[in-house]
Amino acid sequence: MKRGLIGDVLSIHKDDSGIDDEIMKGNPLSKTTDKTNFFDRKNNLHVFYLGGSSVKDLFESNGLLTNSFNLDAQKAFRRGADEKNFILDLDLEYFDFDKSDGCPTDEQGYALTDTILKSTSFRSLLDFSQVITIALEPLWFRSLECKSILKKMCLTLKEYLDIDIENNVLKAFKEDLMS
């Protein structure tokens, strides 16, 4: 955004710990309505929207892309969807579940991951994206869990978009993903 390479940003976070304070300026994480104007180096206006804590928050009945309070976000999203002009950046740590902090067990976490990846909302984002990036994040959670979530993500991409990247990714990042 600072360099003007991308336009508006729609961000989904489980919590606010990963949000850049310089961009968000301490705004509280709310379900669907938080946004901050941001000017790049050339003084062009961009908007950073917080889309909630789940992909489903975008498309549900009172979600950012469906309620009557966020028409500017909806207009920007529709324009991007019509032009298929999205970069979908997926951080695998979003799908991380840690039993020690009250989050679901691994089995519940994997079931929830499957639910997200197979949801109509997630598939819509895949449809609208011109570029999809996947940040493996092996330093943020167990390597074995990273591999498991990556396999689920790759299976979704293969089933839905007929893109097979799993073997190439595992081979290229073998050292990073060592358990």
151-160 tens-digit pLDDT: 888 888 889 8
pLDDT value of position 125: 87
The 10 Å CB-count burial string (b at 16+, else e) for 77-96 is: beebbeeeebeeebbbbbbb
Neighbour-count burial for 127-157, b at 16+ CB within 10 Å, e otherwise:
ebbeebebebbbeebeeebbbbbbebbbebb
Is residue 164 over pLDDT 90?
A: no
Q: Are residues 179 and 120 in the same domain?
A: yes
Residue 42 shares a structural domain with residue 110? no
**Domain assignment present for 160:** yes
Judgement on whether residues 104 and 178 belong to the same structural domain of the protein: yes
Asked whether residue 135 is assigned to any structural domain, the reply reads: no
Sheet holding 45-50, edge to edge: 9-11, 45-50, 35-39
Number of domain units in the chain = 2
Q: Are 109 and 95 in contact (CB under 8 A)?
A: yes
CA 146 → CA 71, 87, 110, 115, 141, distances in Å? 36, 22, 11, 17, 7
Mean pLDDT, rounded, of the chain? 75
Specify whether 78 is located in the same domain as 2: yes
Domain that holds residue 66: 1-83
Residue 161 lies in a domain: yes
Residue 92 lies in a domain: no
| Helix H or strand E segment including 5 | none
- Judgement on whether residues 124 and 49 belong to the same structural domain of the protein: no
Q: Are 160 and 126 in contact (CB under 8 A)?
A: yes
Per-residue tokens: 10: 């729609």
| pLDDT tens string 21-78 | 444 433 334 444 577 888 889 999 888 887 777 777 777 777 778 877 778 888 888 8
- Over residues 1-23, the mean pLDDT reads 70
Considering the domain architecture, whether residues 62 and 101 belong to the same structural domain is answered as: no
Residues 105 and 32 both lie in one domain: no
Residues 124 and 48 in one domain: no
91 located within any domain: no
| 119 located within any domain | yes
Asked if residue 175 belongs to a domain, the reply is yes
- Weakest mean pLDDT among 17-26, 80-89, 123-132, 154-163: 17-26
| Residue 134 maps to a domain | no
Q: Report the distance separating Cα 17 and Cα 69, nearest Å.
A: 26
Q: Are 34 and 65 found together in one domain?
A: yes
Q: What is the pLDDT of residues 135-151, one digit of tens each?
A: 876 665 666 677 778 88
Q: How far is 54 from 56, CA to CA, in rounded Å?
A: 5
Let me know whether 57 and 124 are in one domain. Answer: no
pLDDT in the model for residue 152: 85
Same domain, 26 and 71: yes
Mind spelling out the 3-state secondary structure of 68-87? CCCHHHHHHHHHHHHHCCEE
Residue where one domain finishes, among candidates 83, 118, 150: 83
**Of residues 61 and 117, which shows the higher confidence score?**
117
Same domain, 77 and 117: no
